[in-house]
Amino acid sequence: MGRAYARGANIRDVFRVSPRLVFNSAKLRLAAEVELTSAGYGTPDTKGKVRDARAVSNVRLLPATCYFF
């Protein structure tokens, strides 16, 4: 097998969960979203399969306030 060039070749899996909560009252909207993203990084073998992956996670909070006029 020759050389392989790829983007993210060391990633085995990725998942994302992002629930959102929205509250509306007349012209005001309050919202919040929490996003959890996790990826399994490892070492690709000669056949391109990722071995010995370990999870790396990130949590992000996104608050929002909207006033409609």
Average pLDDT of adjacent 10-residue blocks, the chain of 69 residues: 78 96 97 97 90 96 97
**Residue 54 near residue 23, CB atoms below 8 Å:** no
Amino acid at 37: T
Amino acid at 15: F
Q: For position 1, what pLDDT does the model report?
A: 54
The residues with which 14 forms a beta bridge, in sequence order, are 39
Q: For position 3, what pLDDT does the model report?
A: 72
The residues with which 64 forms a beta bridge, in sequence order, are 31
Q: For position 2, what pLDDT does the model report?
A: 65
pTM: predicted TM-score of the whole model, two decimal places: 0.73
